[in-house]
Amino acid sequence: MHIGSVAKKIGLTPDAIRFYERNALLPRPPRSAGGFREFADTDVQTLGFIRQVQGLGFTLKEVRELLELRQRRLQPCAPVRRRLEQKLLHVHGKLEDLQS
């Protein structure tokens, strides 16, 4: 699948996908004979995951950590849950600051 199709499917821009690739959040996809990036379904899933967790307020560093846990496939539920709880506490703290 080419970058434009992936971007439309996930709701990102091609530039955002290239940004994730440059920052090692997404492995560099192979290129076609014409030089176009060829994304696999796993790449599309990874991009969807990145978009979701960034939408929840995770930083690029935190996204990278979550992706590493995801790639290990060693029941990452507890570490992910801890990170989500920490993020939620951080967001609640920001809300309190804004309200005061």
Please, which pLDDT band fits residue 9 given cuts at 50, 70 and 90? very high
Share of the chain above pLDDT 70, in %: 96
Look at domain 3-99 and name its CATH class: mainly alpha
**pLDDT of amino acid 81:** 77
What's the rounded Cα separation, in Å, for the pair 100 and 97? Answer: 5
Structure-model confidence comparison of residues 6 and 91, the more confident one: 6
Q: How far apart are the first and last CA of the chain?
A: 49
CA nearest 10: which of 62, 51, 40? 51
Query: Domain locations in the chain?
Result: 3-99
Rounded (10°) CA dihedral 83, 59, 71, 82 = 0
No. of helices (H) and no. of strands (E), the chain: 5, 0
| pLDDT number for residue 15 | 96
A 10 A CB-CB count for 46 gives 20
For residues 84 and 76, give the distance between their C-alpha atoms in angstroms, rounded to a whole number: 12
Question: For the chain, what percent of residues have pLDDT higher than 90?
Answer: 48
3-class secondary-structure state, position 79: helix
pLDDT, tens digit (0-9, with 9 covering 90-100), for 42-80 = 999 999 999 988 888 889 998 998 888 877 766 657 777
